[in-house]
Amino acid sequence: MENLPPEALQDVATYFQALSEPTRLIILNILREGERNVGDLAQLCGSTAANVSRHLSLLTKHGMVIRESRGTSVYYRIADESIYALCDLVCGNIARQMERAHKARQAFQANA
């Protein structure tokens, strides 16, 4: 982010906003295993096809997934595998924070 103009930072913020919804993260995680159509994704997410389509539209708009029509079906796949490196980095950070908080609670309880 260093030396980016404010307009570019706005684009970065918008990109991260696309990742701020749990259903979209679930979709991305499912697509880690390979391409899927909307019906498959809806079933695996436990959601409606309309809801999944809305999320896929946003992910496509931000370049995270690619949409491909085949006959009467539309299939989605990850556009750039680096999205997983980003998510794994964030998940690792959250796991470390949770571990520190857990250790702090244990220390507090031991002294109580």
Same-domain pairing of 34 and 75: yes
Domain encompassing residue 101 = 81-112
**Is the sign of the CA dihedral 13, 60, 82, 91 positive or negative?**
positive
Same-domain pairing of 54 and 85: no
Nearest to 17 by CA among 57, 65, 62: 62
Same-domain pairing of 12 and 60: yes
Asked if pLDDT for residue 111 goes beyond 80, the answer is: no
How many structural domains does the chain have? 2
Q: What is the tens place of the pLDDT at every residue in 35-68?
A: 999 999 999 999 999 999 999 999 999 999 999 9
Of 31-35, 70-74, 102-106, the one with minimum mean pLDDT is 102-106
Q: Is the pTM of this model over 0.75?
A: yes
Same-domain pairing of 34 and 14: yes
